[in-house]
Protein backbone atom coordinates (compact mmCIF):
# COMPACT_ATOMS: atom_id res chain seq x y z
CA UNK A 1 0.00 0.00 0.00
CA UNK A 2 1.19 3.47 -0.79
CA UNK A 3 0.29 6.72 0.94
CA UNK A 4 -1.50 9.07 -1.47
CA UNK A 5 -3.27 12.40 -1.22
CA UNK A 6 -6.49 12.55 -3.12
CA UNK A 7 -10.19 13.31 -3.12
CA UNK A 8 -12.18 11.20 -0.71
CA UNK A 9 -15.93 10.89 -1.24
CA UNK A 10 -18.21 8.65 0.74
CA UNK A 11 -21.74 8.29 1.99
CA UNK A 12 -21.64 7.81 5.73
CA UNK A 13 -24.67 6.82 7.75
CA UNK A 14 -24.95 8.37 11.18
CA UNK A 15 -27.94 7.97 13.44
CA UNK A 16 -29.91 6.36 10.60
CA UNK A 17 -29.34 9.15 8.06
CA UNK A 18 -26.96 9.22 5.10
CA UNK A 19 -24.48 12.08 4.74
CA UNK A 20 -22.28 12.85 1.75
CA UNK A 21 -18.66 13.45 2.72
CA UNK A 22 -16.35 15.10 0.19
CA UNK A 23 -12.79 15.89 1.20
CA UNK A 24 -10.70 17.22 -1.71
CA UNK A 25 -7.26 16.44 -0.25
CA UNK A 26 -7.11 13.54 2.19
CA UNK A 27 -4.08 11.34 2.86
CA UNK A 28 -4.89 7.63 2.78
CA UNK A 29 -3.32 4.34 1.78
CA UNK A 30 -4.28 2.84 -1.56
CA UNK A 31 -3.32 -0.48 -3.02
CA UNK A 32 -1.66 0.07 -6.44
CA UNK A 33 -3.22 -3.16 -7.75
CA UNK A 34 -6.74 -2.45 -6.46
CA UNK A 35 -7.39 1.32 -6.50
CA UNK A 36 -10.86 1.01 -4.96
CA UNK A 37 -9.35 -0.45 -1.80
CA UNK A 38 -8.20 2.16 0.72
CA UNK A 39 -6.99 2.15 4.29
CA UNK A 40 -7.54 5.25 6.39
CA UNK A 41 -4.83 6.34 8.82
CA UNK A 42 -5.93 7.88 12.13
CA UNK A 43 -5.50 11.44 10.80
CA UNK A 44 -7.85 10.71 7.90
CA UNK A 45 -10.40 9.19 10.23
CA UNK A 46 -10.30 12.34 12.37
CA UNK A 47 -10.74 14.55 9.30
CA UNK A 48 -13.74 12.48 8.18
CA UNK A 49 -15.29 12.79 11.65
CA UNK A 50 -14.85 16.58 11.55
CA UNK A 51 -16.44 16.75 8.12
CA UNK A 52 -19.32 14.49 9.16
CA UNK A 53 -20.06 16.75 12.12
CA UNK A 54 -20.00 19.78 9.81
CA UNK A 55 -22.30 18.23 7.20
CA UNK A 56 -24.68 16.84 9.85
CA UNK A 57 -24.60 20.18 11.71
CA UNK A 58 -23.53 18.56 14.98
CA UNK A 59 -21.55 20.14 17.78
CA UNK A 60 -17.79 19.67 17.63
CA UNK A 61 -15.86 18.10 20.52
CA UNK A 62 -14.60 21.58 21.44
CA UNK A 63 -18.15 22.98 21.49
CA UNK A 64 -19.36 20.15 23.72
CA UNK A 65 -16.50 20.73 26.12
CA UNK A 66 -17.23 24.47 25.97
CA UNK A 67 -20.86 23.95 26.99
CA UNK A 68 -19.78 21.72 29.86
CA UNK A 69 -17.14 24.20 31.00
CA UNK A 70 -19.48 27.19 30.69
CA UNK A 71 -21.84 25.62 33.22
CA UNK A 72 -19.01 24.26 35.40
CA UNK A 73 -20.03 20.64 34.92
CA UNK A 74 -17.72 17.68 35.24
CA UNK A 75 -18.00 14.97 32.61
CA UNK A 76 -19.61 12.81 35.28
CA UNK A 77 -22.24 15.44 36.11
CA UNK A 78 -23.11 16.11 32.46
CA UNK A 79 -23.46 12.36 31.95
CA UNK A 80 -25.81 12.14 34.94
CA UNK A 81 -27.96 15.00 33.61
CA UNK A 82 -28.23 13.37 30.17
CA UNK A 83 -28.63 9.86 31.62
CA UNK A 84 -25.64 8.49 29.71
CA UNK A 85 -22.27 7.02 30.69
CA UNK A 86 -19.43 9.33 31.70
CA UNK A 87 -17.21 7.54 29.18
CA UNK A 88 -19.62 8.62 26.42
CA UNK A 89 -19.10 12.30 27.27
CA UNK A 90 -15.35 11.67 27.29
CA UNK A 91 -15.49 10.07 23.82
CA UNK A 92 -17.55 13.00 22.48
CA UNK A 93 -14.99 15.49 23.78
CA UNK A 94 -12.02 13.60 22.36
CA UNK A 95 -13.75 13.08 19.02
CA UNK A 96 -13.65 9.30 19.36
CA UNK A 97 -17.46 9.13 19.13
CA UNK A 98 -20.02 11.33 17.38
CA UNK A 99 -23.09 12.11 19.45
CA UNK A 100 -26.59 11.19 18.30
CA UNK A 101 -28.72 14.00 16.89
CA UNK A 102 -31.17 13.88 19.82
CA UNK A 103 -28.40 14.30 22.37
CA UNK A 104 -26.83 17.03 20.25
CA UNK A 105 -30.15 18.90 20.40
CA UNK A 106 -30.35 18.29 24.14
CA UNK A 107 -26.87 19.78 24.63
CA UNK A 108 -27.81 22.85 22.57
CA UNK A 109 -31.07 23.24 24.48
CA UNK A 110 -29.26 22.86 27.81
CA UNK A 111 -26.95 25.71 26.83
CA UNK A 112 -29.81 28.01 25.76
CA UNK A 113 -32.73 27.23 28.06
CA UNK A 114 -32.48 27.92 31.80
CA UNK A 115 -35.79 26.10 32.35
CA UNK A 116 -34.35 22.93 30.81
CA UNK A 117 -31.24 23.22 32.98
CA UNK A 118 -33.46 23.55 36.06
CA UNK A 119 -35.59 20.59 34.96
CA UNK A 120 -32.60 18.31 34.35
CA UNK A 121 -30.99 19.39 37.61
CA UNK A 122 -34.19 18.51 39.50
CA UNK A 123 -35.18 22.08 40.31
CA UNK A 124 -38.26 22.21 38.07
CA UNK A 125 -41.34 24.01 39.32
CA UNK A 126 -43.50 21.31 40.84
CA UNK A 127 -46.51 23.63 40.77
CA UNK A 128 -46.90 22.70 37.10
CA UNK A 129 -48.37 19.33 38.06
CA UNK A 130 -51.31 18.70 40.43
CA UNK A 131 -49.44 16.59 42.97
CA UNK A 132 -45.88 17.70 42.16
CA UNK A 133 -45.36 14.66 39.97
CA UNK A 134 -45.81 13.82 36.33
CA UNK A 135 -47.68 10.69 37.42
CA UNK A 136 -50.81 10.24 39.57
CA UNK A 137 -50.26 9.49 43.23
CA UNK A 138 -49.85 5.82 44.03
CA UNK A 139 -53.32 5.66 45.56
CA UNK A 140 -55.02 7.77 42.86
CA UNK A 141 -57.68 6.16 40.72
CA UNK A 142 -57.25 6.66 37.01
CA UNK A 143 -60.41 6.52 34.94
CA UNK A 144 -60.31 6.20 31.19
CA UNK A 145 -63.52 6.95 29.33
CA UNK A 146 -63.80 5.39 25.92
CA UNK A 147 -66.40 6.45 23.38
CA UNK A 148 -68.60 3.45 22.77
CA UNK A 149 -71.51 3.89 20.33
CA UNK A 150 -74.87 2.82 21.72
CA UNK A 151 -76.12 1.38 18.44
CA UNK A 152 -74.31 -0.88 16.03
CA UNK A 153 -72.34 0.95 13.37
CA UNK A 154 -74.43 1.68 10.28
CA UNK A 155 -72.57 2.11 7.00
CA UNK A 156 -73.17 5.25 5.02
CA UNK A 157 -75.81 4.96 2.31
CA UNK A 158 -74.45 4.19 -1.12
CA UNK A 159 -71.34 2.38 0.08
Number of separate domains in the chain = 2
Q: Please write the tens of the pLDDT for every residue from 93-120.
A: 999 999 999 999 999 999 999 999 999 9
Assess whether 19 and 67 both reside in one domain: no
The CATH number covering residue 85 comes to 1.10.260.40
**Do 103 and 64 lie in a common domain?**
yes
Residue-level pLDDT at 131: 54
Q: Which residues contact 74 (CB under 8 A, 6 or more apart)?
A: 68
Residue 8 belongs to what domain range? 1-57
Predicted TM-score (pTM) above 0.85? no
Q: Per the domain annotation, does 157 fall within a domain?
A: no
The DSSP 8-state label assigned to residue 98 in this structure reads: P
Q: Same domain, yes or no, for 42 and 68?
A: no
Asked if pLDDT for residue 28 goes beyond 80, the answer is yes
- The answer to whether 62 touches 70, Cβ cutoff 8 Å, is no
The predicted structure's pLDDT at residue 74: 97
How confident is residue 20, by pLDDT bands cut at 50, 70 and 90?
Answer: very high
Amino acid sequence: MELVTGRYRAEIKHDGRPYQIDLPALEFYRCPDCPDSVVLPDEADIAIGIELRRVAKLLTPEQIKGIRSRFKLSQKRLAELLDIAESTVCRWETGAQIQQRTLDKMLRAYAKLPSLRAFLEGQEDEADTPNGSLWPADNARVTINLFMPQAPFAPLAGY
